[in-house]
Chain A
């Protein structure tokens, strides 16, 4: 239960970190908070040759509230993001979801960007950023590109990040009139989610305007509940409409996606029920 040997660097510039990634390619891994990576090293499920600690790169440790966009640097800790007044005002769903991540000791060390780049299928932040239609800003030596959340998560623990590339910043479009909520089920407080649902909704008069519903823990990547969204978009959120949407959410879950803790049918039931609860909360 001890990590294998590796080379460790802690550059104080982004350029320095990117140069190391460039040189070592897939043999190098970013070390952010280490709350997922170091357990993997302890179990020797990962054996990177080089770890690049990003703790000293100042420009990725900031939260910015610009007109229309909330930006969260990849190195911001989950605890700091959860407590941030800017995050709570501009993207309350992010702050709410962080309360579900591990325990307070993990959130003090773990980073927002680390959770996103790790891309655990049961993780909250990938689902929440998909819900909020966030954009991931990726940097590599001499290049920058933007990837929308819907395209960033490509499989379990697999993202659009290429060799030599690192997550730099997360940009979240602000929707001041929207309401949001997240609920998840886990065996014990702080455990990985068996299933969860995040949602954001804006009313246009008496009818539903924009709506985003995403389930997690039930597929290889965050699962956008497109049929449930379509069932309520443009309609009055009557009890019957919400119940229809919840049923469509449940039927979107692949019943074969299960494990020893919960089979797929149970997870689907949970997604239906939690979709209903999220919709009741955001249309209240």
Chain B
């Protein structure tokens, strides 16, 4: 991350997004979610509430799940970002994505990228039981599934009895 000593309306940024190097100059006010969707075409990151409540826009920054709708694009300078497009290396589904499919962890799918990124960015050992898994998922809102299928998907991919 580079210093910007004087206040500026446009900010240069250089970052890694899904393993690729990205260089751009953005309006200082541009949100990370909008940069990903509109400048990079990574529309898998969804915008729901746009004030940090629903979790649909969750991405990984330096490995940690964060809300891309309440972070500026300028704040990823020098950092590593992973979006839902970066989960799978090829065309197929990852084990986590397959687990969502197997367990009816999605219906309309709007919230799914956010859930996938949150689950991808946490340590299973920090969430040893169902209650703690539900707590971990509480920062992502799903209006279709009632969450049961999502909890089952997490348990499947973490190798726990369902």
Is A234 located at the chain interface by the 8 A CB criterion? no
Q: How many chain-A residues does the 8 Å CB contact rule pick out?
A: 40
Interface of A is mostly: mixed
CB distance from A230 to the nearest CB of B (A): 37
Interface of B is mostly: mixed
Taking A2-B34, A39-B52 as contacts, is the C-beta distance between A104 and B139 under 8 angstroms? yes
Give the docked Cα–Cα distance between A24 and B6 (Å).
12
Is A34 located at the chain interface by the 8 A CB criterion? yes
On whether the beta carbons of A8 and B72 are closer than 8 Å, the reply is yes
On whether the beta carbons of B139 and A106 are closer than 8 Å, the reply is yes
Chain B residues in 8 Å Cβ range of A8: 4, 7-9, 11, 28-29, 72, 74
Is B27 located at the chain interface by the 8 A CB criterion? yes
Is B65 located at the chain interface by the 8 A CB criterion? yes
Cβ contacts A31-49/B at 8 Å (1 or 0 each) = 1001100110111000000
Residue among A12, A34, A51 making CB contact with B70, cutoff 8 Å = A34
The chain B residue sitting closest to A79, CB to CB, is B64
Give the docked Cα–Cα distance between A10 and B7 (Å).
8
Give the docked Cα–Cα distance between A79 and B11 (Å).
27
Cβ contacts B65-88/A at 8 Å (1 or 0 each) = 111011110110000000000000
On whether the beta carbons of B69 and A42 are closer than 8 Å, the reply is yes
Give the docked Cα–Cα distance between A35 and B139 (Å).
13
Is B113 located at the chain interface by the 8 A CB criterion? no
Give the docked Cα–Cα distance between A7 and B10 (Å).
8
On whether the beta carbons of B138 and A189 are closer than 8 Å, the reply is yes
Is A108 located at the chain interface by the 8 A CB criterion? yes
Is A105 located at the chain interface by the 8 A CB criterion? yes
